[in-house]
Every structure is written in C-alpha cells, then in structure tokens.
Structure 1
Amino acid sequence: MKKYSIARLNKVATVGHMDTTYNSIGVPADTFAPDFTIFYGSYSRGVDRTLSLTGTALEDTTVIAIRHDERLTDKQRIQLAGGVTYYIKSIEADDDINAFDTLTLTLKKGKG
C-alpha cells in the first residue's frame, strides 16, 4: 500500500503479549504485557469492501495502517488509544521501501 501519507500515522499503539499474573490471594489473571510501541493511522475500507465483508468473520474488525515492521506477528496483541486490547487478525505486509502494512484487528473480549 503506497498511497498513504506518513503524516496520517499520528497515533501511538502498544504492541505486546498476554501474560499470566497472580493477585494477592494467588488467583491467576491474564494481563497485557507491553513489548514496544508503533505509530499508526486510521484506515478506512471502501464501500464495496465493507459490503463484501458483511456476514463474515471480518465484519466486526478494525483496520489500521503502520510502517512495515518485521517485529509484528499475529500472535501479539495491540492496545490502541484508551487501553483497548485487540487481537491481530491478519497482517497485510508490504516490505517495499516507504511501504505501509495494514493490520486487521478484532476486539479482545473480557479484561486485559
């Protein structure tokens, strides 16, 4: 994806993984453990793409654009503004120079 302005990468996301921690009485809980931060920008799908996703597993997803980053995997989690944690559903990578990747995110249910 080359037709995206770098100036639109004006938000910061935290990339991390889920870790198990224990409270004072020994009850385990999954918590978000940060690894690194990235800049991202909103990415909107076209109307035709949105309609084609209706009724599929990708209907309730969010897409963001980032600079290409080899550190990202679909096993990680991403926290966007407000501390909301998302699963990485897919990474559409473009490793050309000055290229951008699009990440399809789905909301993580529950705490963490």
Structure 2
Amino acid sequence: MSQPVRYTPAQMSNKADFGSVQSVKNQFSGANIPTFVKQFTLHYASIKRTLTQTYMIQGTQFQDTQIIAVQHNSKISDLDKTLMRIQINGDAYKIVDASLDDSTDDYIKYDFITIAKDKKGGA
C-alpha cells in the first residue's frame, strides 16, 4: 500500500478565499452589482500536472483549469459547489470539480479542487 501524500507547510503557504457571488446594491447608483462575498479562507498547495495529464485533458472541460489541494474541511462539502467561487490574488475562479476526502482512516486528509477562471466577473 502506498503512503498517503503529505504537504509541507511551505507547500500550503498560499491562501484562497472561498465564498459566493451575490448581488449587492451599489451605494452610489443603486444598481445591483455581482460581488464576491468571502465566507472563509483556506491555505492551499498548487498541484502540478504531468505532461501526459496535460495532453490528455486537451479539448475537455478541464483544459484551462488548475488543481489546488486544501486540508479536508467540512465547510467545502456543506456548500453548493455550483454557486461557490474561489478568489486567489484578486482573481475569481469557479469550481469545475471537487474530489473531497471523507474517509475516516487518516487524520490528515486533503480535498483536491479543480478550478477555472470565472469569466463572468464578480471579483
């Protein structure tokens, strides 16, 4: 049996804000503007794909995506992933796929989240 993957604190040094896009009334014009509303922040590690994996996803919904790993958190599994957005360094991302580790046999677990830049705005 292979050893589970462990990420060092240095690898998990990046921060991502998790939240949703909600209509917020602009105080000056009174118009509703889609705005990112942060619900919580998690540290993450960027996951690199191999060349083979990169070639295999060409032409699929995963072509222009990246993968991040966060320590397993029930807040992610409790939220509606179709509405959730992630903000990293001011850029908004939507969740394309989420592989959540809800196993009970390991005390350190990671959720792998595939994200793509959100072209609709709301950042």
Q: What TM-score do the two structures reach when normalised by structure 1?
A: 0.90
Q: Runs (4+) of structure 1 moved beyond 4 Å?
A: none
Q: Which residue of structure 2 aligns with residue 104 of structure 1?
A: 114
Q: Which residue of structure 1 aligns with residue 24 of structure 2?
A: 21
Residue type of the alignment partner of 2:90: G
Contact 1:17 1:34 in 2 (8 A): yes
Contact 1:2 1:100 in 2 (8 A): no
The alignment partner of 2:52 has SS state of helix
Q: Which runs of 5+ in 2 are unaligned?
A: none
Q: How many residues align?
A: 111
Describe how 1:1-112 pairs up with structure 2 within 5 A.
Answer: 2-7=4-9, 8-23=11-26, 24-72=28-76, 73=79, 74=81, 75-80=83-88, 82-95=89-102, 96-112=106-122
Q: Which runs of 5+ in 1 are unaligned?
A: none
Between the two proteins, what is the percent identity of the paired residues? 29
Aligned partners of 1:38 and 1:3: how far apart in 2?
18
CA positional deviation for 1:4: 3.3
